[in-house]
């Protein structure tokens, strides 16, 4: 029957909807506690230079150690953190933790840190980075920040100015998920990126040829012409790697070289990749 306005309209909410609403409110409350108690950890995924597969550093990827639900991936909680305005605090923690961990790695291994658009609010990113570098003693050229083009779209000139400040400090700036946005090429003209990361969705469809290969070829060519390093994300197979090598891709990251591991396992990964 058609719901009527007023007293009867609560009938439109099914018990399942009510349960889901309660669950997401509970998760929100738990996330606020997680931020206060720093229930997060960073996992680190190797990044290698091509063609030699020489280890150059690791990307830091956040996980939430939820007291009951175990380890949660970013997709489960970062969108909620953004909505609740918690990203600046989480992002500052990530920067401090990543720099502190990387400072103990052998030089010149680098750490790449993902930065969310919210971290550009109040022009606070350069100060947060400066604090993380000062606390850890990590050299600025061993830190790379990964931003998606939504950063420049959403925050415009303010983000641009902060990225330029950071780059002048010697921090590397990479464009993440390259090719998935609406204006990737426009963004390349707006800011002098040090690196482009070809999105996993393109790499996934190698080596079938066709569109994916054409796009990888175009992006590596663009990188060469503009003097910007190109990293392929999500490399899982030898066949994908062969295509990337043939196209002259500069660097790669993916399960083929290593999955993200806790910080305590990084020395073992360094040893294994050095021996390979
Ligand atoms: P991203 O920066 O593009 O990171 C790469 C994602 O691909 C990671 O997922 C990684 O585990 C996954 N991946 C790497 N190699 C492979 C592969 O060979 N195959 C497959 N299927 N997947 C692979 P993860 O850790 O779930 O992170 C997802 C996204 O969450 C990241 O995408 C990044 O946008 C965001 N993120 C992660 N950590 C942080 C953080 O500390 N701060 C912010 N702002 N965002 C973060
Ligand atoms: Mg990334
Ligand atoms: Mg990416
Ligand atoms: Mg991605």
ipTM: 0.97
Check whether 4 has a pLDDT greater than 80.
Answer: no
How far does Cα 275 stand from its chain's mean position?
A: 28
Q: Which ligand is nearest to the CA of 96?
A: 1
The residues, ordered by sequence, that sit 6+ positions from 270 with a Cβ below 8 Å of its Cβ are 55, 105, 106, 109
Q: Determine which helix (DSSP H) or strand (DSSP E) holds 155, and give its type and residue range.
A: helix 149-168
The length of the chain, given as a count of residues: 276
Distance of CA 233 from the midpoint of ligand 2 (Å) = 9
User: Model confidence over 105-145: pLDDT tens digits?
Assistant: 999 999 999 999 999 988 999 999 999 999 999 999 999 99
DSSP state of 12: G
Task: Enumerate residues lining ligand 1, CB below 6 A.
Answer: 45, 61-62, 73-75, 78, 91, 94, 114-116, 146, 176-177, 200, 233-236, 253-255, 260
Confidence bin at 37 (pLDDT 50/70/90): very high
Distance of CA 113 from the midpoint of ligand 2 (Å) = 7
Distance of CA 176 from the midpoint of ligand 4 (Å) = 7
* Bridging pattern class, strands 251-252 and 40-49: antiparallel
- Report the share of the chain in percent with pLDDT over 70: 95
Angle (nearest 5°) at CA 144 between 143 and 150: 145
The residues, ordered by sequence, that sit 6+ positions from 91 with a Cβ below 8 Å of its Cβ are 115, 116, 118, 119, 128
CA distance 222 to 200: 18
Distances (CA, A) of 60 to 43, 46, 93, 221: 6, 9, 12, 28
pLDDT of residue 2: 46
Atom 6 (ligand 1): residue with closest C-alpha? 234
Q: 132-158 burial, b for 16+ CB within 10 Å, e for fewer?
A: bbeebebebebbbbbbbbbbbbebeee
Atom 13 (ligand 1): residue with closest C-alpha? 234
The mean of the pLDDT values for the chain is 91
Rg (alpha carbons) of the chain, rounded to whole number: 21
Check whether 86 has a pLDDT greater than 80.
Answer: yes
* Bridging pattern class, strands 143-147 and 172-178: parallel
Asked if omega into 108 is within 30° of 0 (cis), the reply is: yes
User: Model confidence over 148-189: pLDDT tens digits?
Assistant: 888 877 777 888 999 999 999 999 999 999 988 777 788 888
pLDDT of residue 100: 98
Residue 177, Ramachandran bin (φ over 0: left; ψ between -120 and 50: alpha; else beta): left
**Mean local confidence (pLDDT), 55-80:** 95
Confidence bin at 1 (pLDDT 50/70/90): very low
pLDDT of residue 153: 76
pLDDT of residue 9: 55
Bridge partner residues of 251 (DSSP): 49, 231
How far does Cα 66 stand from its chain's mean position?
A: 21
DSSP state of 265: G
pLDDT of residue 253: 98
User: Model confidence over 210-255: pLDDT tens digits?
Assistant: 788 999 999 999 999 999 999 999 999 999 999 999 999 999 999 9
Bridge partner residues of 57 (DSSP): 47, 110
**Mean local confidence (pLDDT), 257-269:** 97
pTM for the full model? 0.93
pLDDT of residue 147: 94
């Amino acid at each position: 029957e058609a719901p009527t306005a007023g007293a009867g309209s609560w009938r439109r909410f099914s018990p399942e909807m009510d349960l889901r609403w309660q669950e997401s409110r509970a998760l929100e409350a738990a996330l606020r506690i997680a931020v206060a108690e720093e229930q997060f950890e960073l996992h680190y995924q190797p990044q290698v230079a091509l063609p030699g597969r020489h280890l150059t550093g690791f990307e830091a990827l956040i996980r939430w150690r939820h007291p009951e639900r175990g380890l949660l991936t970013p997709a489960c909680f970062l969108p909620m953190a953004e909505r609740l305005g918690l990203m600046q605090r989480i992002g500052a923690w990530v920067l401090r933790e990543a720099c502190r961990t990387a400072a103990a790695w052998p030089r010149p291994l680098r750490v790449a840190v993902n930065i969310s658009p919210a971290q550009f609010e109040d022009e606070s990113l350069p100060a947060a980075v400066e604090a993380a570098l000062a606390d850890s003693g990590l050299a600025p050229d061993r830190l790379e920040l990964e931003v998606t083009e939504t950063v420049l779209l959403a925050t415009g000139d303010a983000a641009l100015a902060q990225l330029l400040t950071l780059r002048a400090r010697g921090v590397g700036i990479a464009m993440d998920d390259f090719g998935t946005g609406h204006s990737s090429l426009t963004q390349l003209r707006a800011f002098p990126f040090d690196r482009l990361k070809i999105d996993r969705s393109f790499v996934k469809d190698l080596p079938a040829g066709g569109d994916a290969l054409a796009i990888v070829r175009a992006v590596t060519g663009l990188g060469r012409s503009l003097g910007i390093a190109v990293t392929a994300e999500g490399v899982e197979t030898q066949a994908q790697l062969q295509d990337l090598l043939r196209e002259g891709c500069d660097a790669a990251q993916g399960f083929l070289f290593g999955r993200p591991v806790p910080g305590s396992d990084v020395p073992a990964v360094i040893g294994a990749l050095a021996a390979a």
